Amino acid sequence: MRSVNPATGEPLGAEFAPCSRAELEAMADTALDAVDALADAPGAQVAGFLEDYAARLEGDREGIARLAHEETALPYAPRLSEVEFNRTTFQLREAARCLRDESWREVALDEKHGLRSTLVPLGGAVVCIGPSNFPLAFNGVSGGDFAAAIAARNPVIAKAHPGHLNTTARLFAHCAAARDAARLPSSSVQLFFDCAPEDGEALFACAGVAALGFTGSRAAGSRLKAACDALGKPASCEMAGVNPVFVASHAAAARAEAIADAWTTSVLLGGGQFCTKPGVIFVSGEAAAARVAARAGEALAKAAPVVLLTESIRVHLAHSVESLRVAGARIACGGRAQGSGFRFEPTLAVADATLVRQARAAFMQEAFGPLGTVVAVEGDAQLVDFARALDGQLAATVIADADDDAVRATLFGVLRFKVGRLLKETMPTGVAVSPAMVHGGPFPATGDPRFTAVGLPAAAKRFSKALCVQG
Amino acid sequence: MRSVNPATGEPLGAEFAPCSRAELEAMADTALDAVDALADAPGAQVAGFLEDYAARLEGDREGIARLAHEETALPYAPRLSEVEFNRTTFQLREAARCLRDESWREVALDEKHGLRSTLVPLGGAVVCIGPSNFPLAFNGVSGGDFAAAIAARNPVIAKAHPGHLNTTARLFAHCAAARDAARLPSSSVQLFFDCAPEDGEALFACAGVAALGFTGSRAAGSRLKAACDALGKPASCEMAGVNPVFVASHAAAARAEAIADAWTTSVLLGGGQFCTKPGVIFVSGEAAAARVAARAGEALAKAAPVVLLTESIRVHLAHSVESLRVAGARIACGGRAQGSGFRFEPTLAVADATLVRQARAAFMQEAFGPLGTVVAVEGDAQLVDFARALDGQLAATVIADADDDAVRATLFGVLRFKVGRLLKETMPTGVAVSPAMVHGGPFPATGDPRFTAVGLPAAAKRFSKALCVQG
């Protein structure tokens, strides 16, 4: 296995070997050796590991960001070398803080009955599988799930994403050095580069594996979640969504162009490859919707083609455009692969509400890449109907003016049960790492509406078990 | 459908009709009408409903307890009319307290990023399915899951257990009166008496159903959990276990008889029909194990036959005894159905460690009823091996003396990842309703090691979703 440079389509960097089932099972067995050490270590020791890891990363900031740029075609600066890099080291330090202050524990005492309860580690490894689009901040060996799993004192078995194998190997070298310097068992963190899908599912049956932290596609997430569910092992799966924007009629009429500008900027961020991309904007009032579509079309037609992360994202995006076309949408601009490597034109789809009602699945399916859809809705009542018909989403935005107060309240009332994060006026891209963040949402956005993948200490609780000691 | 008097095997009380799939789906649809009302009601209004319900139950204490006694053969006093009754009204009042103090919410604020997050209701009904063995305190319409679901402001669709249909109907009449007096929508709490298994599974696909709260057998729980898992809907399933007791060598030698007495008392509590029954006791040292077995055999041989809750429990118990016999266990006393109704003899099985290693599944399978197994283990090292080989359990007990400090520490280190509640010296029957309780545990004891079914506010979090509001 080799990485591919998305800008050229050419192989890049070292060769990596996939893992056999026996090797995976050996990793699971070995992880058990680290369980007690991590559970019983002084908090400062495990925190020190993460803080040292963050410092080592900062010492190699340029090299890591450069490599990630080559493998993903994401901008070197400020995206990789600053924004995502700082997010990554911040998350590691937040996890270290959790280990020092034990804020994830949920301690309860009952002297009368002789009971003490607290969250403890799971007793086995968390398998961390990161996505293509955040080579550092969601990487299985440095990202949010990794940090949360270690914060709750679990060993980690990370799987590299095929889109950034070299970056992952480089991160892991720093991780392993920090782990060893902190005198933690080497099986506290292990890495593999790939495996057969059926071997990956079989890994969860091993006694040494206790949970899954997954970010990626609905198909892969659902398969791994099913394997965990059958075994009663917690699976944290962040999957798919379109994070719709709902624009009420007065706001739409008053500021169609400004709303279009904010939306297209958000759609294009990260090349449209954010899980929080607002893929669909529902605009109340057909005249205002036409203005939003016209302005968005101008902006997207002017924007440069995007180098997508992987070839499979390009193939999937082309399929999505085609299925929108078949469903009756007008492709107002873009729609095609272009040039060398994995380039694709910024693309706008436009449809009226009737079409979307007829082919809801096609319109509400997530597509990574620079594609957005404007839906012209008859009025505010129909806007609410679209909210009611929504599947679970990571996020949704409501844009409304003072004269839209009633419909805004109705939309909030409906959407609070549909999404993990409900935004007033703001576009959903940009997920602050904060204890008050919820990066989650009902199925199929994630596998469980009760949790968040971003924001400690809550994110650590995904990888914990409850324990009461009596007497 | 009619209930059966377990003491006589004769039908008892009114006839009840099972529910068709269309009727179930209509209940799910109707539940949606109560979602906003419960989510937005003043906490005092919903709390008032529960407090009024508790008061109405207390006004009918004797009638309810008498009916429950007839349907279950559990002792009228103190078990039903006092202990279980008071537990039930206490749980309802604890849930009311949660609704007043909002202690289940996990509020987090981040002014810098304009974020507020909190747990909210799920946006649909919780289907509450209670077990045979607690006609009041775990009943779908009055028990712990009911209280937790309402504490988190969700509508409830309860299913009656066939073992106590009349008691459930009587509880529901009080519930409905209190619900109506509190001016909550009638679909806030709905009840059905039975349905075809496939219709029950299909219920979870309805938009109006958001979660499951189940207590019962592993087979039924696993089937319903799988239906929920595939839909990404939370399933709280309390299933099976043997809640083993581990006796270290010095303690065993010093106090075999006292330990045997405490154990047999716990095995016989509730006719052995508690999910926390310590079904297996592992005794380190063969001489001490023989003393425990001899003393336990005397106590169980003297005890009166138990009237079991249902015919299926009697059938299952007879099968369990037979499979222990086939696996090589010695049935030291009892082992047979006896007399009229669903009576069964208190039964002791005795085996040495070698037999258990050869037929672990037979020895570690839960069996409701007055059956306990003494396992003679070679020594403390082998005791630890049995702990390591354990499946997930609700509870485990370690009994050890000062000279057993090392093995006790090792057992605690192993068992903390295997059980929800780890007891020092105490037998596991008797689950205090306390914020510091964990009535949970890794699969297959429950479906998810992160939660507890007893103890508010934690138990309410099972039936919540995380929501962040931004801007």
State the nearest Cα–Cα gap between B49 and chain A, in angstroms.
23
| Token representation of residue B168 | 């459930």
**For A293-317, what is the mean pLDDT?**
97
Residues of B in contact with A123 (CB under 8 A): 416-418, 442
pLDDT of res. B363: 98
In order of their start, the domains of chain B are 3-239+447-470 (3.40.605.10), 245-424 (3.40.309.10)
Over residues A258-274, the mean pLDDT reads 97
Report cis status (omega within 30 of 0) of the bond before B444: yes
Cα angle: A169, vertex A174, A175; to 5 degrees:
90
**pLDDT for position B437:** 98
Of B339, B287, B333, B297, the C-alpha closest to B314 is B339
Cβ–Cβ below 8 Å for A468 and B35: no
Subunit contact B468:A438, Cβ cutoff 8 A = yes
Q: What mean pLDDT is predicted for residues A40-67?
A: 98
The pLDDT tens digits of the residues spanning B53-105 come to 999 999 999 999 999 999 999 999 999 999 999 999 999 999 999 999 999 99
At B3, is the pLDDT very low, low, confident or very high (cuts 50, 70, 90)? Answer: very high
Residues of B whose CB is below 8 A from A422: 467-470
Give A-chain residues touching B419 at CB under 8 angstroms.
Answer: 467
Please answer yes or no on whether B229 and A233 come within 8 Å at the CB atom: no
Q: Indicate if the pLDDT at residue B240 is higher than 90.
A: no
Q: Is the ipTM of this complex over 0.95?
A: yes
Pair of tokens at residue B283:
């005794």
What's the rounded mean pLDDT across residues A329-346?
95
Q: Do residues B136 and B88 make contact, with C-beta atoms less than 8 angstroms apart?
A: yes
| Contact indicator for A154, A124 with CB cutoff of 8 Å | yes
Question: How far is it, in rounded angstroms, from Cα A35 to Cα A41?
Answer: 10
Pick the residue from chain B with its C-alpha nearest to A115: B436
Residue A340's pLDDT is 87
Residue B38, CA distances (Å) to A294, B183, B423 in order: 43, 11, 38
Q: Which residues, at least 6 apart from A439, have a Cβ–Cβ distance to it below 8 Å?
A: A238, A394, A420, A421, A431, A452, A453, A454, A455
A420-454 burial, b if ≥16 CB within 10 A, otherwise e?
bbbbeebbbbebbbbbbbbbbbbbbbbbbbbbbbb
Using CB atoms, pick whichever of B40, B124, B467 lies closest to residue A422.
Answer: B467
Give the torsion through C-alpha atoms of B400, B405, B409, B415, to 10 deg.
-10
C-alpha distances in Å from residue A305, one per residue of A310, A330, A371, B109? 15, 20, 11, 39
- DSSP annotation of B446 reads B
Would the CA dihedral through B187, B190, B194, B196 be positive or negative? positive
Q: Where are the alpha helices (DSSP H) in A8-158?
A: 21-40, 43-59, 61-72, 85-101, 144-151
- Judged against a pLDDT cut of 90, whether residue B259 lies above it is answered with yes
Q: Is A281 helix (H, G, I), strand (E, B) or coil?
A: strand
pTM of the predicted model as reported, rounded to 2 decimal places: 0.97
- Torsion angle of alpha carbons A442, A445, A448, A452, nearest 10°? -100
Around B338, how many Cα atoms within 13 Å sit in the side-chain half-sphere?
12
Q: What percent of chain A has pLDDT over 70?
A: 100
What the block records as the tokens of A361 is: 């699945």
Q: Is the pLDDT of residue A458 over 90?
A: yes
- The stretch B349-377 carries a mean pLDDT of 97
Enumerate residues 6+ apart whose C-beta is below 8 A from A47.
A95, A96, A97, A99, A100
Cis omega (within 30 of 0) for bond into B42: no
User: Cβ(B426)–Cβ(A471) under 8 Å?
Assistant: yes
Q: Any idea which residue has 């593999």 for tokens?
A: A192
Tell me whether B422 touches chain A (CB under 8 Å): yes
Q: Which residues of A136-145 are buried (b: 16+ CB within 10 A; e: fewer)?
A: bbbbbbbbbb
Using alpha carbons only, give the angle A80, A81, A82 rounded to the nearest 5 degrees. 95
Beta strand extents in A260-346 (DSSP E only): 280-284, 306-307, 330-333, 343-344
Over the stretch B284-317, which tens digit does the pLDDT of each residue have?
999 999 999 999 999 999 999 999 999 999 999 9
Q: What number is the average pLDDT over the span A326-350?
A: 96
Taking contacts as CB-CB distances below 8 angstroms, the residues of chain A near B117 are: 436-438, 452, 455
Q: Across the interface, do A468 and B413 touch by the CB < 8 Å criterion?
A: no
Contact predicate A177/A56, CB 8 Å: yes
Inspect the interface and report whether the beta carbons of A466 and B449 lie closer than 8 Å.
Answer: yes
Tokens, residue B409: 């520490």
pLDDT band at A157 (very low <50, low <70, confident <90, very high): very high
> Is residue A161 a contact partner of residue A130, using CB atoms and an 8 Å limit?
yes
pLDDT at B137 over 90: yes
How high is the mean pLDDT of chain B?
A: 97
Q: Would the pLDDT of B464 be above 90?
A: yes
* Lookup result for tokens 């902006």: A299
Residue B339 has pLDDT above 90, yes or no: no
Residues 6+ apart with CB under 8 A from A405: none
pLDDT > 70 fraction of chain B, expressed in percent and rounded: 100
Are the C-beta atoms of B133 and B270 separated by less than 8 Å? yes
- The pLDDT tens digits of the residues spanning A356-388 come to 999 999 999 999 999 999 999 999 999 999 999
Bridge partners of A128, per DSSP, are: A158, A213
| B393 CB-side CA count, 13 A | 30
Cα angle: B294, vertex B295, B297; to 5 degrees? 65
Catalytically annotated residues of A: 238, 275
Chain B contacts in chain A segment 65-124 (CB below 8 A)? 106, 108-110, 112-117, 119-124
What's the rounded Cα separation, in Å, for the pair A99 and B427? Answer: 33
Distance in Å, alpha carbon of B250 to nearest chain A alpha carbon: 19
Indicate whether A240 pLDDT > 90.
Answer: no
- Listed residue (A35, A142, A59) closest to A95, CA to CA: A142
**Overall average pLDDT of the A241-252 stretch:** 98
- Here the tokens at position B217 are 């057998």
Q: What is the dihedral of CA B398, B403, B407, B409, to 10 degrees?
A: 70
**pLDDT averaged over chain A?**
97
Preceding peptide of B457 cis, ω within 30°: yes
Q: Which residue of A has its CA nearest to B458?
A: A106
Condensed to tens digits (0 to 9), the pLDDT of residues B146-155 reads 999 999 999 9
Question: Which of B180, B177, B251 is closest to B406 using CA atoms?
Answer: B251
Q: How far is B218 from chain A, CA to nearest CA, in Å?
A: 12
Q: How many other C-beta atoms are found inside a 10 Å radius of the C-beta of residue A43?
A: 16
pLDDT at position A450, please?
98
Percent of chain A with pLDDT over 90: 99
User: Residue A377: helix, strand or coil by DSSP?
Assistant: strand
Which residues in chain B are contacts of A233 at CB distance < 8 A?
443
Q: How far apart are the first and last CA of chain B?
A: 55
Burial of B42 (0-12, 13-18, 19+ CB in 10 A): exposed
- Inter-chain touch B436–A110, beta carbons under 8 Å: yes
Quote the pLDDT of residue A159. Answer: 98
Q: Tell me the two tokens of residue A113.
A: 């009955």
